[in-house]
Structure 1
Amino acid sequence: MKRLLRTFSLAFLLASPFATAADVSMAGGALHVSVPDTWVPIMQSEGETETQVFQVPGSNGADATLARVSITLQQVPNLNGFQQFSGNMRSRASGLTEYAAGKATSPTENVYTAKEGKVKLDYFERYFYSGGYAIQLRCIRPTSDARWNASFDKGCADVAARMPS
């Protein structure tokens, strides 16, 4: 009975979507980064540009499902390719509905607000160049309660700190 219970527990753990969320591997293993266990993977794309998107639960607001984090990477030949990648991503952002630039603290950040449907969202993007890859970490959250915002922002900052550079 104990063996059966152990086997069942292990199978449940392996089937859980949270079990694989802690370690993100992209570009055939060229990028490994840890994310909070509570982030739920909701999309992954592969190809020339690869993206993984996570929904971040926790806010009590009706628009909490809009809180998400994405990691996008593209192989680039050099630093000029990285600058072109980040420039293209920033250009797309500026085309969003009701885009309003915020105050970035470094040249590798892009901070802004925009609307998605009827909801105003805060965007915080960080750009990294590592091992021939241009990487964007994009954190998007509704402007909801301050305590939850602080927790969300801390999770994003922790992931950014673990990005290769």
Structure 2
Amino acid sequence: MLRKLLRALPLALTLAAPAASATDVAMADGVVHFTVPETWSLIMQSSGETETQVFQVPGSSHADATLSRVTITLKKAADLRSFQTFSGEMRSRATNLKDYAAGTPKAPTENVYSAKEGTTKLDYYERYFFANGYAIQLRCVRPDGDAKFSATFDKGCADVASSIPQ
């Protein structure tokens, strides 16, 4: 009987462990809320007409941990035209990056591309939202190559996107 209990203990502990938790983030004086994985570190924040928060995403290698980041940028937008201007300006900036190469987005509110930062090729995924009077850009940047890390990173990015109001 004791043996059965000892064998079952690791499984019970695993099932009792809390799931990866998320942190609620508020921007624009609390008007825009979204969640990010608890393991992501806020490394930069700005406020003003355009507000930005940048999160560093821990990786499996030094390059992953140093270069992988998720940025949420928002700007007050009175109407759809203001939103389109914001997203157009942000997309235009991307084309100026070193070795910019356009990818294939799956939706009109996405921008997918690769570019170099120094000598490292990075994959970029941007998604645009118009919510609560704000134009919002979600920008996910990671090194190209590590398939396992890329899958984890992409899932985290998708989870953030699904938590942004639409």
> TM tier, shorter chain?
0.7 to 0.9
Return 5+ residue gaps in structure 1 as ranges. Answer: 1-20
Query: Do the aligned partners of 2:91 and 2:111 also contact (CA within 8 Å) in 1?
Result: yes
Larger Rg: 2
CA distance in 1, matches of 2:94, 2:60: 24
Which residue is equivalent to 1:58?
Answer: 59
Report the AA paired with residue 119 of structure 1: T
| 3-state SS, counterpart of residue 57 of structure 1 | coil
CA distance in 2, matches of 1:149, 1:62: 12
TM-score relative to the length of structure 2: 0.85
Which residue is equivalent to 2:13?
Answer: none
CA distance in 2, matches of 1:63, 1:75: 32
Report the AA paired with residue 86 of structure 2: F
Report the AA paired with residue 22 of structure 1: T
Query: Do the aligned partners of 2:34 and 2:160 also contact (CA within 8 Å) in 1?
Result: yes
TM-score relative to the length of structure 1: 0.85
Matched, 1:155 2:156: yes
Return 5+ residue gaps in structure 2 as ranges. Answer: 1-21
Query: Do the aligned partners of 1:53 and 1:70 also contact (CA within 8 Å) in 2?
Result: yes
Matched, 1:90 2:91: yes
Tell which deviates more after alignment, 133-142 or 57-66: 57-66
Tell which deviates more after alignment, 56-65 or 82-91: 56-65
The runs of at least 4 aligned residues of structure 1 exceeding 4 Å deviation read none
Alpha-carbon distance, 1:145 to partner: 1.2
Matched, 1:115 2:116: yes
Count of residues paired in the alignment: 145
1:17-68 residue CA offsets vs partner (Å, 9 max, x unmatched): xxxx711110000111110001100000000000000000022243530000
| 3-state SS, counterpart of residue 154 of structure 1 | helix
1:56-113 residue CA offsets vs partner (Å, 9 max, x unmatched): 0022243530000000000011000000000000000011000000000000000000
Superposed counterparts of 1:1-165, under 5 Å:
22-165=23-166
State, as a whole percentage, how many aligned pairs show the same letter.
66
CA distance in 2, matches of 1:47, 1:81: 17
Alignment RMSD: 1.1
